[in-house]
Every structure is written in C-alpha cells, then in structure tokens.
Amino acid sequence: MSQYALNLIFIGGSFLLYVIIAWVSRAGSTSEFYAANRGVHPVVNGMATAADWMSAASFISMAGLIAFTGYGNSSFLMGWTGGYVLLAMLLAPYLRKFGKFTVPEFIGDRFYSRTARLVAVFCLIVISLTYVIGQMTGVGVAFSRFLEVDNATGLFIGAAIVFFYAVFGGMKGITYTQVAQYVVLIFAYTVPAIFISLQLTGNPLPPLGLFGEVSDGTPLLVKLDQVVTDLGFAEYTSLNSSMFNMVLFTLALMIGTAGLPHVIIRFFTVPRVRDARYSAGWALVFIALLYLVAPAVGAMARLNLIDTVYPNGTQAEALEYEERPQWMKNWEVTGLLKFEDKNGDGRINYYNDANEEAAAALAGSPQGNELDVNRDILVLANPEIAQLPSWVIALVAAGGIAAALSTAAGLLLAIASAVSHDLIKGAINPTISERAELMWARIAMAVTIGVATYLGLNPPGFAAQTVALAFGLAAASIFPVLMMGIFSKTVNRTGAVAGMLAGLFFTVIYIFIYKGWFFIPDTNQLADVPENWFFGVAPTSVGAVGALLNFLVAIVVSKMTGDVPAHIKELVESVRTPRGASAATDH
C-alpha cells in the first residue's frame, strides 16, 4: 500500500472518530456548550486538558526549535510545565469555587464592573486569536505534506474540520473529542521516538537514549556537539542566548500558561473544587509523557538531518542534490524545504554561512548555506528521515493534525464563550434567550475560524514562536488580574482595568515594533539584533515585563482611587478561604 493511501486511512479514520464523538456529544444547552454541564471526571478532564494544551507548537514546532537551537530552547519545556503548577495551586480551584462559565465573567463580577468584563473580553480575543494562528499554521504544515497539497489548501481543509466538530460539539463535544485526540497524538509522538532511539543508541526509552551512546561509542550529545560545531553552528548543549532573557522567557511562559483562557475554562467543567486540582495534576502527568520525550526527538532529528546531508562525515563531500533521499523530495513539494545551488557544484552545502571558518573547511568553496529547512517540519519529517515503516509516518501525520485541531477547538470555544456570554448576554442584551445565545456562540466560532485561517496564511513566525507571543499577552493581561482578583481585597475596578490595558498595550506595541508584523515590515530583523531591544529584553520575553507593569499600575491606581466595596471583600474571602473544609471541596 502506498504512503499516500496509508496517510488517508490514518488521517481519515481519526477525523471520522472525532466527528462521531462530536455529533454524539453535541451540546444542547448553554451549560453543556460552555462547561459540559460540569460533569467531566477529573482524569478525563486532565487528558482533555493535556490535548487542549499540547498544540501544534508542542507536537510540531517545539522539538524543531530545540533541534535547531539546543539547550537554549529548553525554556519552552520549563515554562510550559511550570505554568501548570501555578495553575493548580493558585488559580484553578478558586475559579471553580466562584462557579462561573468564563474568565471575563469572573473578572466582571470580582471587580464589580462591566468595563472590566469587556476589557477582559478584548484581552481574551487578542490572546486566543494570536494563539489559534499558530495552530492553523501547524494544520497547514501537516496537511500540505501528508495529503500532498500546498500549504494554503491544507489550511482550508483543517479549518473545515475544526468548524464542524467545534461548532456543533461545544465544550461537551470538544472534551471527549480531545480525549481521543490525546490518545492519537501521544502514540504518534512516542512510537517513532522509540524506533529512532533504538536505531541510534539501542535504548528503547528516548529520554534515556538522549544520554546514551551512538554506534561508535560516543555519547549522543557529544556527537551532536561535534557535528554542529564542525558546520559552524553553536554547541548544541550550550546556552546560546543571555541568561537574563532565558529567565524572563521562562517566566513569561509560566504565568502565560496560568493565564490562558482556553486552559482555565477547562477547570469549570468538573463537578467539585477539589476535582479542579486533581484535573490539573492529571493534566501535568499526561503532558509530561510527551515533554520528557521532546528533547530526545529534537536532538536525534538534528543528528539524522546532518547525517543525511553529510553521510560520510561533516568534513567530507556533501550529498549530491540529484541523489537526495525521497523525504527531501516530498517536503520540497510543500515549499517548506528548499535547495539553492549557490556555487554550482550540485551538492547540498548545509552549514552556518555566518561562520567563515566553517565555509573555508567545506569542499567546493561554497558561497553560502544552500539548504533551507523550516523548523516546523522536523518532527513530521523525522520518521521519513530515519526510514521508519510507512504506518509510523502515517501515525505521525494523524498525531500532528490531532494536536493542532484539539487546541484550535479549545481556543475557538474560549472566544465564542466570551463573545456570546460576556459580550452579547453580559453587555448588549442581558435578556437574550438560551437558544439565541448558542447561535451567537456558533457564529463567533465560525468568524474566528475564518480570521485565523486568513492570518495563518501569513503568520508572524514559526508555530511555537507565534504561540509564545500569545503566552506573553496572557502573562501581561489576564494572569495578573486573576491573581489580584483572588488574593487581594484592595485592588478596585479602576485599578484592574488600568492594569490590564497597560500590560496588554505595552506588550503588543513592543512585539509589533520588534517583530515588524503588519505595521513595520522593514524592522523584522530587529528581532535578531539584541542591541536594538529595549534594555535587552527579547520580544518573546516581554510578557513577563508586561505582567509586572500590570501589577504595578493596578496597585498604584487602586490606591489613588476609591476603596473596594464591603460585599466584594466578602466575595474574595469566600472564594479564597470558604467556611468549612466541605465547602471548599464539595461546591
């Protein structure tokens, strides 16, 4: 059976499963649409949360970024897992105790302000839309390769699938669909990793294989350091960025994780407050199953890529372009892998052309690096590079698409809930019927899918980079106001609104200036020039600074304006320290 036929079977079979689950579990009420009627078991919710969380950035792009940068990008692993500890300890149980459907609803009630609720809606839409762009980018990458279509067509196909099962299923349908998607993506990620770890190190456990030895007895990481430095790249195991930005970036990812609306609303679906904590714990377990494997996947993929181009060693002659393996031909069709014969020798010269010593050491006096590999393809191409069985390649295809679709659905639900429940019902038409509210939620989903698909055609970076920007926005806007709403009785509505706006606009403006997306296209290179950054803060790290600004502005403005009403102080007290242990666990 051909690879294309296998891809269709695996991808089509998984789609059929998702559609059936979504249709059987479709929402018939607003309670089911927003919170699955608060009847989801903690273990099931933990698995669904893990799928909701492990997006295209985790499955497709994270290992690719680690592969090309090495230790420096371990920030993604530390920040994204650490965020769940914050979420479990500081936010999830208290928000579940409050008993509302959405994050803006909590903010509006806690800060006794319709304006605060609307600002939270605005922040949520900006965050979720930025995040969903990364997912649609990943969908396009996966579809374009495995269904052998161009990137744009892949995006449109993915958007249609998401539209069907997210719009009809709501939170109830999405929850059980995400459980199935988690099973698909975890098998798709770990099975090829086990194969490749066995090939390279003889160890079937990828995390241990990462520290194992290759066939010549050299430790894998030592071997990888040797081959990348021979090609003029920095050592794989060294920190290639400033420790200052690494700490800021990790912090931004942590508090951004804890402030992501589409993750937080998952904890509104469990029956009791203690279940919210258990859900977060189980989610961390399920996430760890993939994240422990990701560093090994990145390192082994980078080594296999270089061995493909230089089969006789990095200092020997490069591979003849006409003799390139089939996997390169497959990915060239997508436009995500490109070769340009700059020196006319017919060979694939792959190296860091910013390093003159590396250029001089290579045969043929190359005129520059000739191989352009999009980092988002590395995990998906890894089984092909390692020449694994065709069914493994098809499994990875289904897994990559499942990862992107699961998170996209959660994000769409967060946006739809904010528009229909917080904007339409909360501000515009409080007397709207339940049926009309459901209709508006589905319309909001449809519009968001269209916008995200359009922007996904021209994203501001690799999938993980785009997602990192969303985390920065969540860190700077939502997380601080939630923390102050739960743990402070002195921050008032004026302070909350001022803090959210200050954190959000500071972060957005900083990112736009240094990323150059939309407004300043000629400044894209500023993102790679640290001396141009304000106080040396990288655009992807600025969310931590925005969060600090949010806290400071909210506290200062609150002190300069009126006191918090007594009934709101009582509300905060009841949410944070409810009367009696049973009230805290059985509500």
Could you tell me the residue ranges of all domains in the chain? 3-301+385-586
d(CA 138, CA 141): 5
User: Is residue 557 over pLDDT 90?
Assistant: yes
Name residue, tokens 């196909």.
Answer: 157
Q: Is 546 left (phi over 0), alpha (psi -120 to 50) or beta?
A: alpha
The span from the CA of 390 to the CA of 388, in Å, is 7
Structure-model confidence comparison of residues 200 and 581, the more confident one: 200
Q: Could you tell me how many residues make up the chain?
A: 587
- Per-residue pLDDT at 582 exceeds 60: no
What is the pLDDT averaged over residues 174-187?
86
Cα radius of gyration rounded to whole Å, the chain: 24
For residue 218, pLDDT over 80 is answered with yes
pLDDT score for 6: 87
Q: Mean pLDDT check: name the lowest of 122-126, 131-135, 309-313.
A: 131-135
Q: Average pLDDT in the 94-111 region? A: 86
Tokens of 3: 């690879």
Share of the chain above pLDDT 70, in %: 87
Class of domain 3-301+385-586: mainly alpha
pLDDT(115) > 50: yes
Q: What is the pLDDT of residue 219?
A: 94
pLDDT in tens, 137-152: 767 777 776 777 777 7
What's the pLDDT tens digit per position in 524-550? 444 455 666 777 788 878 899 999 999
CA–CA separation, 386 vs 350, rounded Å?
A: 19
Model pTM score: 0.80
